[in-house]
Amino acid sequence: MTSRLRLRWVAVGVAAVLVALVAGLAFGPVSLSPVDVVTDLVHHLTGGAVPTGLSARDDAILTQLRLPRVVLGLLVGALLALSGGCYQGVFRNPLADPYLLGVAAGAGLGATTVIVLRPGSSVTAPLLIPLAAFVGALAAVAGTYLLGAAGSRFRSTVTLILAGVAIAAFCTAIQTYLLQAHSDTIQEVYSWLLGQLTTSGWHEVLMLLPYAVVTSVVVLSQRRALDVLSVGDEEAASLGLHPQRVRMILVLAATLGTAAAVAVSGLIGFVGIIVPHAVRLIAGSSYRIILPLSLLFGAAFLALADLLARTVQAPAEIPIGVVTAFFGAPFFIVVLRTTRRVGP
């Protein structure tokens, strides 16, 4: 019965991804028929065996502009939600998110450094900003781990969280100084910080895809270990699990995926909190189901959030981070109130 329930939720998650994919492709400044969108996708997947109902112009809009952006949104949302579920399991805290260990602050500092210091006419900026954000995110997490291990052979969840707060504050302080010294770049920096899914074709998707595969394979392969970790380190060790080793593998994998997602999309908050927690509320507390469902529903959630971001005030766009915060902040408040009500 439990297995059938899990399969049912997985089917719902896959359906949500397909709905988000079709909706993201069909609606925008130029609206397309969802039926024609599906037909055109089948046309390309079958090598032209099925005729398409779209004109050459609409086909170009679909395949060259919208499809890369929607796929990128699916990948980023999947990574952020999967990483959020992973962090919540590792730290045994349902309010943990992918930015807990200083990922956001490090990525923001890396991107800000490139934006404020690069020459205004540099043609390499579109490549340097994601690279700097990625390096900054990984450097911040490395600093968190080193600081969390100072004076002790073991890294507890509490010391890692406190070290992450310290590293994040340090990175934010440097970032604020750079912005104050280069005030002419504030608009560009904040545009990146608020999140964006603009693409130049399939380049960003291909850049993110390897990290998405590695993170997904590693985290999903350890989902049973997260269930064991939830009973405590001593009990997990008595069952033959090495808690510190498993925790390090999971944190590194989730951080790698988060850093890659942040590098191509900027800072998009709340996805890693609201999606895994919502899955926990509707499908149970086992990470064997939380993690795969978080991946699916996170992908659908961000693709639909991006659809709102580019259509609510069309032809202008709302930063996608604003859209996710609009839904995430009230949800976070409800979770906090619920946690306090049922807590000890």
Q: What share of the chain is helix, strand, coil (3-state, %, to 5)?
A: 75, 0, 25
> Is 201 a member of any domain?
yes
Contact between 278 and 108 (Cβ < 8 Å): no
Q: Quick one: average pLDDT of 275-290?
A: 89
What is the pLDDT confidence band of residue 343, given thresholds at 50, 70 and 90? Answer: very low
CATH code, domain carrying 290? 1.10.3470.10
Q: Is residue 219 pLDDT above 90, yes or no?
A: yes
Of 92-106, 146-160, 246-260, which has the strongest mean pLDDT? 246-260
**Candidate from 83-92, 191-200, 283-292 with smallest mean pLDDT:** 191-200
> Is 207 a member of any domain?
yes
pLDDT for the residue 5:
64
Q: State the Cα torsion 89-90-93-97 to the nearest 10°.
A: -90
Contact between 84 and 97 (Cβ < 8 Å): yes
pLDDT for the residue 2:
57
The percent of residues in the chain predicted with pLDDT above 70, rounded, is: 90
How far from each other are the two terminal CA atoms of the chain, in whole angstroms?
32
Which position has the token pair 């839904």? 327
pLDDT for the residue 234:
77
> Is 343 a member of any domain?
no
pLDDT for the residue 22:
96
Q: Annotate 91-102 with b (16+ C-beta within 10 A) or e (fewer).
A: beebebbbbbbb
> Is 341 a member of any domain?
no
Task: Note the pLDDT tens digit of each residue in 151-189.
Answer: 554 456 678 788 888 999 999 999 999 988 888 888 878
Q: Please tell me the distance from the alpha carbon of residue 130 to that of residue 101, in angstroms, as a whole number.
A: 19
Give how many domains the chain has, as a whole number.
1
> Is 1 a member of any domain?
no
Q: Please tell me the distance from the alpha carbon of residue 122 to that of residue 111, in angstroms, as a whole number.
A: 15
**Which domain range does residue 309 map to?**
7-334
Both tokens assigned to 37: 């969108």
> Is 342 a member of any domain?
no
Q: Is residue 245 pLDDT above 70, yes or no?
A: yes
> Is 109 a member of any domain?
yes
* Cis ω before 119 (30° cut-off from 0): no
> Is 55 a member of any domain?
yes
